[in-house]
Structure 1
Amino acid sequence: MAQQGTTLRNTPGLIMASVLVTFLLVLGLSGHSMAFVPIGGGASTHVSISGTALLQKVAETCRAVAEEAGYEFEPTGNSAEELVQACLGPTATGEVSGAKFHSALQEIYTQNGLVDRDFVNSAPHHFNSEAFIEGRRLITEGVVAIKANIRSENFKAARETLGRVLHTLQDFYSHSNWVELGNTEPYINLIRPDLPLENLADKETATCSDCASGTCPNPILPNILKEKKLTSGYMGIFSDDKPKGKCSHGGAGDLTGTSVPRGGISKDERHSHNAAFHDVAVKAATAATLQLLQDIRFAAGDKDFLRMVGIARSSVVCFVIDTTGSMRDDIDEARSVVYEIIDSKAGTQDEPSEYILVPFNDPGFGPMTRTSDPEKMKSEISKLTAKGGDDEPEMCLSGLQLALTGAPASSHIYVFTDATAKDYDLKDTIVALIRTTKSTVSFFMTGRSGRRRRSLRAGSFEDYKELALASGGQAIQVSKGQLPEATDVILDTSTSALVTVLQRARNPGKQETFPFMLDESLKNITIYVTGTSLSFTLTNPAGVSQNQNEANGKLGTIKTAGNLWRFRLNADKQAGTWKININSKKPYTLKVTGQSTLTFIYDFVESFQGPHPGYAVLSGRPQAGLPATLMLRAMGRRGPSSLSVGAVSLVTVSGSETVSNGTVTDLGNGDILVTVDTVPEGEFVVGFEGTDKVSNSEFQRQSTTQMSVSKVNIQAVVDSSAEPGKPFKLPFSVRTQGSGGQYSIQAKNDRQIPMEYPKSLTLTTGQYVNATLTIKPPSNIPSGTDVTVTLEAKSASGADSNYAVLRVSVVTKITDFVPPRCDVVSVLADDCPQDVSQCEPFQWEFLANLTDGNGTGIDKITLQQGKGNLTLTPLDSPLVQANYTASCCSQIVEFTAVDKVGNVGKCYHSIVRSAGPPTSTLSLPLWLCLLVSALSRL
């Protein structure tokens, strides 16, 4: 029977099949043993712990979504692609890419690892030096921010905070004596701030005995073990001082480890002297991570939890539309395209997972509309009307900035305008956001391009072309009458598993032949050429050719609109090396795309030192004069094992082509570290070649976003969330390896919130200069809003610059941490027969009262287990009555109640009278049975 008058509780449950799926997925994620060190920091990482828990929780959530929707969740293999395919269910027809899932996980892992760089000397971030109250406060504030961000659909901000919170939570089990005290389960009080932290050792209490060798199995004093006192190791990065008698963290980076009592209690890595404690700590940290993820999942709901971790139909349709008086025809065409996408792709894998709309005019822009509901998108875009000025400069880049900060990373954004940009000063900010988000921006320009700039601060259509090229997008210039013929590009790119095979630009134009490799996995291959007064000839591996004048040829079909040629290849294309020869004296661009799950994701990284050295993702451009380092993940049709990695290089897109090959270090399971000693001058992209083992064919891929190096570097860290109405200080540092002198500082944010910061800094070569940016979010800003701040430092000549892009979450401070309460009123199950086989005609009933003690109120109640009917009285009442009725065949009920600030409680009851023998078993090898059994006890 359920306990009467108890707080709703968290009772995780797994079935054998989901444990097996999770085990297989974890094998695909990491072949390493687990340890508490940052990403890239050794043979094993925090990633192992986070990844195990994340994949298990994702599999559980996918199974729950599938059961509710009435389809089977049955991954065909252990790759991310196959997990995403199974999770999306019947709509996931066609190619399904795991790239967004991998990218989302990578954001979590990256922020987890950065805690060891950015907060190396912060005891609370690592639960060092007995900072238990402060460490839990970081977890509490972080979880509040995560839940608020998810409610506001700011999933990237939620992922970044989640990574940092998980690091702190996991470190508790390695850095404290929790497992030495005999505990094997997580300390639930760490994620339940309504419960006290009990039995903490005070500052005057000695906790460790001296260990001269530094490798004693358990130096915790006997009285501490007997009294169950909680302590943690002191860590000294710059000093060996610690309170008398206290334990040290230990290890080479801890100076206190040589002060009596010597040694340390850290279980970060597995050694012979601490193997047993290390293994228990890993298991407890994994289980604690699962508990935290479950709490977030219940607060967010299954759909938004999966969106947070990057599982959704991968296409996002984002329109930025000029609404001035001359744009009437363009708005009609954009509306028509949206309707066609919604109607033609409904119920398929290519149905967009999200729609985004940002209008702009003069002087206004926005608001941004984001929705996963296609009917709402139809409604919003149908409301757009052309009004105001004619084709004079508009606030185009302000609208684009809003889209780049609001849309998910790697989105395709389409800008419709017939005027130049009035807010030309945002151009550098737009470039920084493009590089950070890796989003692709395409412009549909229907105005006159020959107009001269009215001033140096006015924009031109050439700026749009430069931004499109920088992002890997298209700059399509057509008359208003030709616009419907050009928007096929949107239909091409608003699709799943889109990859770029090749992109090149020439300015000035010249005759040149561009070879590119097409592989067997590619489908819907399209070649785009933009320019004027040009000719081209495409030749396949067999020597068959087709030129620009053949609308329907042996190789495919060609459509033209304005400066765009769109060449769609026939479905029976040949794998191998193709060539396209382009001849023009005027500027032109070339892009080859297709659909395939053979792809890669990457980040430029830099190494860092300290107690736990590793790699950190760069927030700006790589440093000039140094080798460029990339962390790259390769994805095959059946995971990383279904491909082999060939060359990885940095390739210039414009001008004379330069290729700088990298040294590839295979870290296993698709993770690759690449070092490029000589970086090309100017803008470059990442080229990737390999072999698809499924078809035994070679392939090539290219990143879309252009990058370059800089001698300037900006370091900035967001260490907490901001509060509405209160100033938030963001410290930053700037350094140059080039010439010293005065550097201008510019900061912008996407919410138009005033900021204070020094407009210039005087730099000395090789030395960081510290400064502070202060931003004060308005008091009425919604909790969960994230503010994207772009910082830029530029030399006096303007020849060199760099940027940092940061997200500040604005979260209202809350004091209600008590979850809703469940009081069982009655259970009527006497009619249920003991023989389960006779259960069908009979029903049972469960009645409970739900209250939220602190008065914020219950926001939602969701049935998690059970196939019966749950009815509720109005949620806005102080007391909510829950009545559940079900067949006696469905013997467990579990539902969650979430209050308005995200606290989660659970009501659970079972009428199972005896466990009995299992109804079915899986035939598994003994070793696998034992491993599955161990995983099921996490």
Structure 2
Amino acid sequence: MTLVLIVALLALGLSGHSVVFVPIGGGASTHVGITRTALLQEVTETCQAVAVAAGHDFKPTGSSPEELVQACLGPTATGEVSGAKFHSALQEIYTHSGLVDRDFVNSAPHHFNSEAFLEGRRLITEGVLAIKANIRYQNFKAARETLGRVLHTLQDFYIHSNWVELGYTEPYINLIRPDLPLDNLADVDTATCSDCSRGTCPNPILPNILKEKKLTSGYMGIFSAAKPKGKCSHGGAGDLTGTAVPRGGISKDECRSDNVALHNAAVNAATAASLQLLQDIRFAAGDKDFLRMMGIARSSVVCFVIDTTGSMRDDINEVQAVLHKLIDSKKGTQDEPSEYILVPFNDPEFGPMIRTTDADIMKREISKLTAKGGADPPEMCLSGLQLALTGAPASSHIYVFTDATAKDIELKDTIVALIRTSKSTVTFFITRVLKRRRRSLRAGSFEDYKELALASGGQAIQVSKGQLPQATDIILDTSTSALVTVLQRARNPGKQETFTFMLDESLTYITIYITGTSISFTLTNPAGVSQSHNEASGKLGTIKTAGNLNRIRLNADSQTGAWQIKFNSNHPYTLKVTGQSIITFIYDFVERFEGPHPGYAVLSGRPQAGQPATLMISLIGRKGPSSVSVGAVSLVTVSGPETESHGTATDMGNGDILVTVDAVPEGEFVVSLNGTDKVSNNVFQRQSTTQMSVSKVNIKAVVDSSAEPGKAFELPFSVKTQGSGGKYSITAKNDRDIHMSYPESLTLTAGKYANANLTIKPPASTPSGTAVTLTLEAKSASGVDSNYVVLRISVVTKITDFVPPLCEVVSVLADDCPQAVSQCGPFQWEFLANLTDGNGTGIEKITLQQGNGNLTYTSLSAPSVQAHYRASCCSQIVEITAVDKVGNVGKCYHSIERSAGPPALSLSLPLWLCLLLSALVGRP
């Protein structure tokens, strides 16, 4: 990575006034700034390593995340590659970092307050174990959530302790190494601070504490001013202990005139420590999975949920043939999916979920599907869909193939909650168009599929077996990372209506989908040229019909500006306009929280009725957020009489926009945004796909740790309503079918929280790294009002092995290398080392991190693995990482540079010490 790029990333991450205030919204927050800088630098280094391994150049055209993604994916990324998923991953980490200030505001270990060093270190190390285990099982969302919390706690050590006052500038490696002791901690009876009567002093740490290098941190009291005698306070307006002698505080949260140097030193140390932790996670996960965790992949994830009941016997061969053709058509192209997921379902079985990045493996798994069971039963469709929604990444495209209604209709509310949380799009291919009657109030119907598809922004397509190949073109259209929605509407019953939508210069592959029967429409471009529904090939595009789906692909030279489509039908219909473009936005509904470090937290459920709705929106442009500007943001109803509520936008910096909508529409709505692309000076229109609505019910629940296999995990939760009180039913579902105990109902008093507990016990056989997705719902007795919360519980086996692999340098043969680097060409050098795992869990993988030579090693199953490295004398550095089976990372570094200092020690040393010694003698 060039120095210019490093400086650009640092400037991008640390711009703005450094105060811990807004956990969401860019450079206005120290935690966001530190985390952003560290993440972008580590992602950049990972992308550079991947590029070198693939043999191509890594040349970002700028420092924005969008340009970083484009460069990271290399020369194959010639088409539209969106940075939206990378932005979403970054925001998810920032968000969960910020939530530590809300959910654990009074927890000393989470902030390294009140000298809670051992407890704070335990939170970090247990969190890192969970992250590594989650990545191993491809539970990237759970990994990102935990990563945000861990980074917050790690950074707070440097901000809230006296580490930098003691003169240290490098990270305290012992915080992420539980096998190393935390030394020289001040005990509870040791005074640590002098009195600061004016409240802010440059450095109130006592001289003897500084001389003896005693580690302490400020005591924090939100509800009490009590603290041990002579102890430092955290300080600030929210700390009551700051008024108790010794007064003042040592927190470096804010950059003030009296602590500029200390604040900057703490930020630098926290940034370096964050990089150190991210590198440890990256080396354990591997470069590819680290980038996948960060949302950087060539294209979208495609998920198939397929009915294998007996009634599909005539259809399943056609489904297999269609999907094989689809997979082959994308293989090796720019839009080849980054991952395939398959979930079969039957009755009563569903699953397992099969996921792979290999197209040929997915084709083989699809080929194994066979129809079995009765001729025409309702089946476990929603159970299969639940697995897909919890297993696939957010904003995935999920395609369901079935010919029958859902037997497990009781999961419908859970499915809606998961759709809203994940923002994934679900499209149903229903290969039987005959209407079914409900067998009972609890039985499903095809209308349920239509409602779920509309809620997600997808389609409910009814086709015959022969029409299936034409209908599945929609999968080809949506298998891209750069898919955007311009407009989506639904009418039931249909009526004569004209819809207007804006097409901009950045849009390509513009496609219009219309579902319904006996639908007549006319499409008109900005110049007044029209094409009707019965013109299969006209002046504006090509229309293909399959079942109830009309697919209109506009011509490549379609005019930009305001288009219209006029419907004249009394039958129900849906309309969706999509295209491919880098210009888009991501959003979350948020709520403000107060406390010592106030900010905004993402809502897991629905926004509160009777209150303004608040959204945090991130703009994504071709050259980063600075290349686009927002015009209007509004909430718009999709179905029924169209209402639009405009919001007031506040620029939070770095492309983040806080939007407040005072009058929220009744019913289901989506987010609509207009803006200007500064590159082309074109006005653009974009719309979210997932529908949302408001609720008078509110549920609070926080997952504060991992669960252990075979042990009960207790989750406290609280429910409140602003509506009429009374009995509210409580329902909980999880995607692993693990038994849970919780109250089936709570009696609520308006405006007051009712508290309860849910207990879940993962089976002892649950693999470490499993993520359990839990949906908790509260519903009024009438069923009119409800809300939900979606939580992820990581199941992690208790680990006692924290010792990384060790390295013994056996020999270095570099005598033939000439003194002058210019003469190195014909000569080679060799490096030989023995790698062992101290606690015996075994080495799982060995990777060459630096060096352009050839690395070989003996069997990993042996107690001692011999690594042999040979390289040209022109490549003078080697760094090898060894990862054991629980994710501990050891590093071995050696340089033959003549100016590199003393030769490597030929004795057994922990790899972290090898690395530290190398750094101290001049490693670049």
TM-score between the two structures when normalised by the length of structure 2: 0.96
- Post-superposition shift, 1:298? 0.4
Give the total of aligned pairs.
903
Are 1:132 and 2:117 an aligned pair?
Answer: yes
1:438 corresponding residue in structure 2? 423
State the alpha-carbon separation in 2 of the partners of residues 24 and 498 from structure 1.
29
State the alpha-carbon separation in 1 of the partners of residues 171 and 63 from structure 2.
28
Please list the CA deviations of residues 246-279 of structure 1 after superposition, one character each: whole Å capped at 9, or x if unmatched.
1100000001111111110000010011111000
State the alpha-carbon separation in 2 of the partners of residues 40 and 913 from structure 1.
47
1:48 corresponding residue in structure 2? 33
Please list the CA deviations of residues 334-371 of structure 1 after superposition, one character each: whole Å capped at 9, or x if unmatched.
32343233322223321100000000001100000011
Are 1:24 and 2:8 an aligned pair?
Answer: yes
User: Where in structure 2 are the equivalents of 1:454-465 lying within 5 Å?
Assistant: 454-465=439-450
1:352 corresponding residue in structure 2? 337
1:795 corresponding residue in structure 2? 780
State the alpha-carbon separation in 2 of the partners of residues 648 and 379 from structure 1.
46
State the alpha-carbon separation in 1 of the partners of residues 570 and 764 from structure 2.
57
Secondary structure of 2:73's counterpart equals helix
State the alpha-carbon separation in 1 of the partners of residues 842 and 48 from structure 2.
30
- Answer yes or no: is the 8 Å Cα contact 1:92–1:348 preserved in 2: no
Secondary structure of 1:549's counterpart equals coil
- Answer yes or no: is the 8 Å Cα contact 1:25–1:78 preserved in 2: yes
- Post-superposition shift, 1:117? 0.1
1:173 corresponding residue in structure 2? 158
Within the candidate set 359, 373, 377, 1:374 is matched to 359
Within the candidate set 555, 569, 576, 1:584 is matched to 569
User: Where in structure 2 are the equivalents of 1:183-222 lying within 5 Å?
Assistant: 183-222=168-207
Within the candidate set 827, 835, 848, 2:820 is matched to 835
State the alpha-carbon separation in 1 of the partners of residues 21 and 799 from structure 2.
32
Q: Which amino acid aligns with 1:24?
A: A
State the alpha-carbon separation in 1 of the partners of residues 626 and 429 from structure 2.
41
Within the candidate set 667, 677, 701, 2:662 is matched to 677
1:230 corresponding residue in structure 2? 215
- Answer yes or no: is the 8 Å Cα contact 2:515–2:548 preserved in 1: yes
- Post-superposition shift, 1:495? 1.6
Secondary structure of 1:538's counterpart equals strand
- Answer yes or no: is the 8 Å Cα contact 2:134–2:140 preserved in 1: yes
State the alpha-carbon separation in 2 of the partners of residues 29 and 536 from structure 1.
50
Q: Which amino acid aligns with 2:380?
A: M
- Answer yes or no: is the 8 Å Cα contact 2:28–2:653 preserved in 1: no
User: Where in structure 2 are the equivalents of 1:43-192 lying within 5 Å?
Assistant: 43-192=28-177
- Post-superposition shift, 1:31? 3.0
Aligned-residue identity in percent: 81
Secondary structure of 2:278's counterpart equals helix
Secondary structure of 1:481's counterpart equals helix
Are 1:496 and 2:488 an aligned pair?
Answer: no
1:657 corresponding residue in structure 2? 642
- Post-superposition shift, 1:643? 1.2
State the alpha-carbon separation in 2 of the partners of residues 267 and 185 from structure 1.
17
2:834 corresponding residue in structure 1? 849
Are 1:398 and 2:411 an aligned pair?
Answer: no
Pair 82,145 (structure 1): closer, same or farther in 2 beyond 3 Å: same
Q: Which amino acid aligns with 1:20?
A: V
State the alpha-carbon separation in 2 of the partners of residues 843 and 697 from structure 1.
57
1:39 corresponding residue in structure 2? 23
State the alpha-carbon separation in 1 of the partners of residues 814 and 306 from structure 2.
60
- Answer yes or no: is the 8 Å Cα contact 1:29–1:669 preserved in 2: no
- Answer yes or no: is the 8 Å Cα contact 1:443–1:464 preserved in 2: yes
- Post-superposition shift, 1:37? 4.2
Please list the CA deviations of residues 663-701 of structure 1 after superposition, one character each: whole Å capped at 9, or x if unmatched.
011122211000000000000000000011111111100
2:525 corresponding residue in structure 1? 540
Moved more, 732-741 or 441-450: 441-450
2:752 corresponding residue in structure 1? 767
Secondary structure of 1:344's counterpart equals helix
Pair 556,27 (structure 1): closer, same or farther in 2 beyond 3 Å: farther
State the alpha-carbon separation in 2 of the partners of residues 389 and 489 from structure 1.
30
Pair 125,901 (structure 1): closer, same or farther in 2 beyond 3 Å: same
Please list the CA deviations of residues 184-237 of structure 1 after superposition, one character each: whole Å capped at 9, or x if unmatched.
111111011111000000011111111110111111111111111100000001
State the alpha-carbon separation in 2 of the partners of residues 211 and 473 from structure 1.
62
Q: Which amino acid aligns with 1:23?
A: V
State the alpha-carbon separation in 2 of the partners of residues 331 and 98 from structure 1.
36
State the alpha-carbon separation in 2 of the partners of residues 760 and 108 from structure 1.
34
State the alpha-carbon separation in 2 of the partners of residues 393 and 479 from structure 1.
19
State the alpha-carbon separation in 2 of the partners of residues 449 and 247 from structure 1.
75
1:468 corresponding residue in structure 2? 453
Secondary structure of 1:482's counterpart equals helix
- Post-superposition shift, 1:78? 2.2
Within the candidate set 877, 895, 898, 2:880 is matched to 895
Are 1:816 and 2:801 an aligned pair?
Answer: yes
Moved more, 33-42 or 786-795: 33-42
State the alpha-carbon separation in 1 of the partners of residues 126 and 375 from structure 2.
49
State the alpha-carbon separation in 2 of the partners of residues 327 and 26 from structure 1.
56
Moved more, 575-584 or 76-85: 76-85
Are 1:507 and 2:492 an aligned pair?
Answer: yes
- Answer yes or no: is the 8 Å Cα contact 1:37–1:268 preserved in 2: no
Are 1:868 and 2:853 an aligned pair?
Answer: yes
- Answer yes or no: is the 8 Å Cα contact 1:34–1:282 preserved in 2: no
Are 1:616 and 2:573 an aligned pair?
Answer: no
1:527 corresponding residue in structure 2? 512
Are 1:805 and 2:772 an aligned pair?
Answer: no
State the alpha-carbon separation in 2 of the partners of residues 77 and 724 from structure 1.
46
Q: Which amino acid aligns with 1:31?
A: S
1:451 corresponding residue in structure 2? 436
- Post-superposition shift, 1:30? 5.9
Q: Which amino acid aligns with 2:7?
A: F
1:12 corresponding residue in structure 2? none
2:243 corresponding residue in structure 1? 258
State the alpha-carbon separation in 2 of the partners of residues 885 and 234 from structure 1.
54
State the alpha-carbon separation in 2 of the partners of residues 465 and 333 from structure 1.
23
- Answer yes or no: is the 8 Å Cα contact 1:317–1:352 preserved in 2: yes
Please list the CA deviations of residues 387-415 of structure 1 after superposition, one character each: whole Å capped at 9, or x if unmatched.
11223210000000000000000000000
Pair 824,890 (structure 1): closer, same or farther in 2 beyond 3 Å: same
Secondary structure of 1:149's counterpart equals helix
Q: Which amino acid aligns with 1:460?
A: S
Structure 1 unmatched ranges of 5 or more = 1-14, 917-935
1:929 corresponding residue in structure 2? none
1:713 corresponding residue in structure 2? 698
Please list the CA deviations of residues 448-478 of structure 1 after superposition, one character each: whole Å capped at 9, or x if unmatched.
4411100100000000000000000000011
Secondary structure of 2:465's counterpart equals coil
Moved more, 33-42 or 625-634: 33-42
TM-score between the two structures when normalised by the length of structure 1: 0.95
State the alpha-carbon separation in 1 of the partners of residues 822 and 5 from structure 2.
29
- Answer yes or no: is the 8 Å Cα contact 1:49–1:282 preserved in 2: yes
Please list the CA deviations of residues 140-185 of structure 1 after superposition, one character each: whole Å capped at 9, or x if unmatched.
0000000000000100000000000000000001110111111111
2:905 corresponding residue in structure 1? none
- Post-superposition shift, 1:72? 0.4
Pair 222,26 (structure 1): closer, same or farther in 2 beyond 3 Å: closer
Are 1:909 and 2:899 an aligned pair?
Answer: no
State the alpha-carbon separation in 1 of the partners of residues 485 and 223 from structure 2.
48
Q: Which has the higher contact order (CA 8 A, sep 6+)?
A: 1
State the alpha-carbon separation in 2 of the partners of residues 508 and 263 from structure 1.
67
Aligned Cα RMSD in Å?
Answer: 1.4
Secondary structure of 2:68's counterpart equals helix
- Post-superposition shift, 1:45? 3.4
